[in-house]
Chains A and B, each alone.
Chain A
């Protein structure tokens, strides 16, 4: 049995990351392509979502096409003791799509990184000013993207260190 599981997992993983065909039974169609059963694939996806291995199953959309033309990274200098509080505050804003604490680097003394998407650069700027006001964090910079050279979703060929995964969960 363990051998069978080992052989199954890479195929389930590949199917999960493949673009879902637009047919009435799309998971069955994917299953056929990757050599797994429809119910095995659906069960694996549900299980991976439950375990947090899969963050989300669904459509990846083009924010530019949807009218969010400005993509700004706003970086903040937050006193260490306020990082958790301010991070949660920013994360609650629907226009903030990503919010991470990052390690400061020489030349980049920032520890909180947010991505803001808005229709215009002015919209991004207003949002950043607003976040600064509600948080009281005055030290920040806005970095607007001027060219997109690459944007791809990573593909994973194998799931490594399943034990590490379990202990982390």
Chain B
């Protein structure tokens, strides 16, 4: 089903400034001029149709006491899917993309310790088809937002 302007406004408000209030859906509805019940029905539909993956807290990795890094790997093209599958068995690997580049596999690791990251890097380098895996750790963050506005498309 296509999104109407209320769905789009709701999607934005669900991402930024979600009310930390006992009745958040009533508050969201008030802002959009719809009832709590209609708000809940719309959110349920947006979720069912795959627009919303979840509603929850996103933590600051560093402040939560975790260690993270981004890894760029050069993998033999015919081995990319198999290597990705092996890597993805580890819960510490949270994002994993094939990209059109000489470094064709990019993944993030979020682990409890630096040692665990080193261990996963070492395992990556031992996988069949992996030519090279280098780390490009964060020095400074300017933006981490990923708020999507359906109205701006």
A residues with a Cβ closer than 8 A to B are 16-20, 22-28, 38, 42, 45-46, 48-49, 51-63, 65-68, 71, 73, 83-84, 87-88, 90-91, 94, 96-108, 110-111, 113, 115, 117, 119, 141, 143-154, 156, 158-162, 164-165, 168-169
CB pair A59–B88 under 8 Å, yes or no, is: no
CB pair B94–A145 under 8 Å, yes or no, is: no
Interface secondary structure of A, over-half rule: mixed
Given the complex of chains A and B, what is the CA–CA distance between A27 and B22 in angstroms? Answer: 6
A141 CB, nearest partner CB in chain B, Å: 7
Having A16-B57, A56-B15, one finds 18 other A-B pairs with CB under 8 Å, namely: A17-B57, A22-B47, A26-B24, A49-B20, A57-B57, A58-B14, A60-B54, A63-B148, A65-B50, A101-B142, A105-B72, A105-B135, A111-B139, A144-B99, A147-B84, A148-B97, A160-B64, A162-B65
CB pair B61–A154 under 8 Å, yes or no, is: yes
| Neighbouring B residues of A115 by C-beta, 8 Å | 146
The residue that B20 contacts in the complex, of A46, A147, A148, A149, with Cβ under 8 A, is A46
| Contact of B123 with A by CB under 8 A | no
Given the complex of chains A and B, what is the CA–CA distance between A73 and B108 in angstroms? Answer: 13
| Neighbouring A residues of B142 by C-beta, 8 Å | 87-88, 90-91, 99-101
B residues with a Cβ closer than 8 A to A are 11, 14-18, 20-26, 36, 40, 43-44, 47, 49-66, 70, 72, 80-81, 84-85, 87-88, 93-103, 106-107, 110, 112, 132, 134-150, 152-153
CB pair B18–A59 under 8 Å, yes or no, is: yes
Given the complex of chains A and B, what is the CA–CA distance between A87 and B59 in angstroms? Answer: 22
Q: With contacts A107-B134, A143-B101 known, is A60 near B56, CB below 8 A?
A: yes
| Neighbouring A residues of B22 by C-beta, 8 Å | 25, 27-28, 38, 42
